[in-house]
Amino acid sequence: MQHDISRRHLIQQLGLIAAGLAAACTPARVLINAYPQVFDDDPALVDRVLRAFVITVIPAAPADDADLTRAFTDPDYPLAPYAAFFAADLARRGRDRFGAAFERLAPEARTAIVGDGLAADATSRKLYNGAIALAQIAFYAGIYDARKGCALIDFEGANHWHPLADITYPDPTRFLGEALTPDGNHD
């Protein structure tokens, strides 16, 4: 089955994340390639591939985290229309270079595949950069549970109140050198 996805649309959408939430605009009218129907028909396959992708990008992420791949198919995020294509691209690269399914490859081989995608043509580079950014934002920022945060980086998420003693140090004046102003405003 042919999937005609506008390359311009793809780049614009991924640019929202890859370029720090600002819109990108790169004119191009080429269409990306076709991909096998099975990636549209088998969401479990797509999830396995994307899960392997996320733990390649973030090796210490827990592979059984229920939210690990959620952002890739979340319609509120720009990768959702391209998730199946992206999984198919990872699978194709794994098969072509190492002769095996991406999700069954050793970590070093998966790392090489992601590196291949980042070194490929401009559209692939945008796609892979966008996917890496989305995976990292979703995981480190804990976007699906604001209270969970991310234990890996000691980010506690929302509503974790700290007493002042946790926020600062005792005897703070020992850190300070000369001040140039009496009140913080420079003349």
Residues that bind other proteins in the complex, under the rule CB under 8 A: 15-25, 56-60, 76-77, 111, 114, 129, 132-133, 136-137, 140-144, 146, 150, 152-159, 161-162, 164, 166-169, 172-173, 175-181, 183-187
Orientation angle between helical segments 83-98 and 122-140, nearest 10 degrees? 110
Minimum distance of other proteins from residue 24's CB (angstroms): 6
In terms of C-beta distances under 8 Å and separation of at least 24 residues, what long-range contacts does 173-176 make, across chains too? none
Pick 56 or 123: Cβ nearer other proteins: 56
Nearer to other proteins, 121 or 155 (CB): 155
Type of residue found at 88: A
Q: How far is the CB of 180 from other proteins (least distance, A)?
A: 5
Shortest reach from residue 78's CB to other proteins, in Å: 10
Nearest Cα to Cα of residue 145 among 158, 155, 160: 158
Do residues 86 and 72 touch, judged by C-beta distance below 8 A? yes
Q: In the complex with other proteins, which residue's Cβ is closer, 40 or 67? A: 67
Cα(134)–Cα(58) distance, rounded to whole angstroms?
A: 12
C-alpha span between 162 and 146 (Å, rounded): 17
Least distance between other proteins and beta carbon 2 (Å): 30
Q: Quote the DSSP letter at residue 69.
A: T
Q: How far is the CB of 133 from other proteins (least distance, A)?
A: 5
- Complex with other proteins: residue 37 or 168, whichever CB lies closer: 168
CB-wise, 44 or 179, nearer to other proteins?
179
Q: Is the CB of residue 69 less than 8 Å from the CB of residue 54? A: yes
